[in-house]
Structure 1
Amino acid sequence: MKKALIIFGSATGNTEEMAGMVKTILEQADFEVEVKEVTDASTADLTADHDLLLLDCPAYGDDEIELQEDFADFTEQLDGVRLDGKPFAVFAPGDSSYEHFCGSVDMLEDKMNDLGGKMVNDGLKIDGDPGDAEGEIEAWVESTAASVV
């Protein structure tokens, strides 16, 4: 059975809800899934024995992209981590009224690529409540799961 790790940061609950939805769909695709809040994650989790690493982080800020506070702290610790081709993907809920809609997805994709990860699917950006985008989330997760060999 393939293993996946979802690391999420959440302030309002939408990101945590989305992480739970992704977990359920991955389990239906025969993945063993571990979900960790970013405050409970360590850099060692990124290189642990998982076939897929998923990051879920909301973005804040009007003038520039700001990661959720706990996620920002976590990413500051990543310098020097080598992912050596570890498959990853990034997803987040957001609000399209902001100039940098789900900019956290782009920031984290760049960071993971810089660390040597292998992006297996374009980031998923959901506008508003994840519960209103179940079909889109399911299609993205199934596509992401299928890309892990």
Structure 2
Amino acid sequence: MKKVLIAYASRTGNTGKMANFLAEGVRFAGHTVEIKKISEIENAEELNGYDAYLFGCPTYHKDMTGGMKQFLFLAEKAELTSAAGGAFGSHTHSGESAPMIFDTMEYVFKMKMTNLGPLNLTEATIATQEGLKACQDYGKALAETL
């Protein structure tokens, strides 16, 4: 059984819902998961000990939140090279944050990213059956790579 960290930022609770749905998918695949808000992670050492990472953030003014940018600088110090990874985010209309996080994890951190690309859902989709299934499937797919 492998251990997955889901770390996220959420302004209105939608990205937090996604994190919980993703965790269900990881658990369906037989692995354990910890969910943390990025504000709860104070140093790079707290990112050690996981086999895979899912980082998520809403798009805010066509960008990641400032907190997520700071978190990614912290995560870079954790040396996550070769760990499995995925990225997710919610948005109302544009959706730039999840692809930016995904690219940072893949090209800067040199992680083994899921071949599904980033999971990017509109806020209106998250609480639907389609949104729930998309998140669970993404969590399962990441976990099955372990």
Give the Cα separation in 1 of the matches to 2:101 and 2:79: 15
> How much has 1:12 moved relative to structure 2?
0.3
- Structure 2 residue runs of 5 or longer lacking an equivalent are none
Q: RMSD of the TM alignment (CA)?
A: 1.7
Q: How many pairs are equivalent?
A: 140
Give the Cα separation in 1 of the matches to 2:28 and 2:77: 35
User: Among 128, 134, 145, which residue is 1:136 paired with?
Assistant: 134
> Match for residue 117 of structure 1?
111
Task: Check the 8 A contact 1:93/1:128 in 2, yes or no.
Answer: yes
- Normalised by the size of structure 1, how large is the TM-score? 0.84
Per-residue deviation, residues 59-104 of structure 1 (Å, max 9, x unmatched): 111xxx3212321222233455422211110011112x3xxx2211
Q: What amino acid maps onto 1:145 in structure 2? A: A
Which runs of 4 or more aligned residues in structure 1 lie more than 6 Å from their structure 2 counterparts after TM superposition? none
> How much has 1:139 moved relative to structure 2?
2.1
Task: Check the 8 A contact 2:25/2:137 in 1, yes or no.
Answer: no
Q: Percent identity?
A: 24
> How much has 1:13 moved relative to structure 2?
0.4
Q: Say yes or no: does 1:105 pair with 2:102.
A: no
Q: Say yes or no: does 1:29 pair with 2:29.
A: yes
User: Among 82, 103, 127, which residue is 2:122 paired with?
Assistant: 127
Of structures 1 and 2, the one scoring higher in RCO (CA 8 A, sep 6+) is: 2
Q: Say yes or no: does 1:91 pair with 2:88.
A: yes
Task: Check the 8 A contact 1:8/1:38 in 2, yes or no.
Answer: yes
- Structure 1 residue runs of 5 or longer lacking an equivalent are none
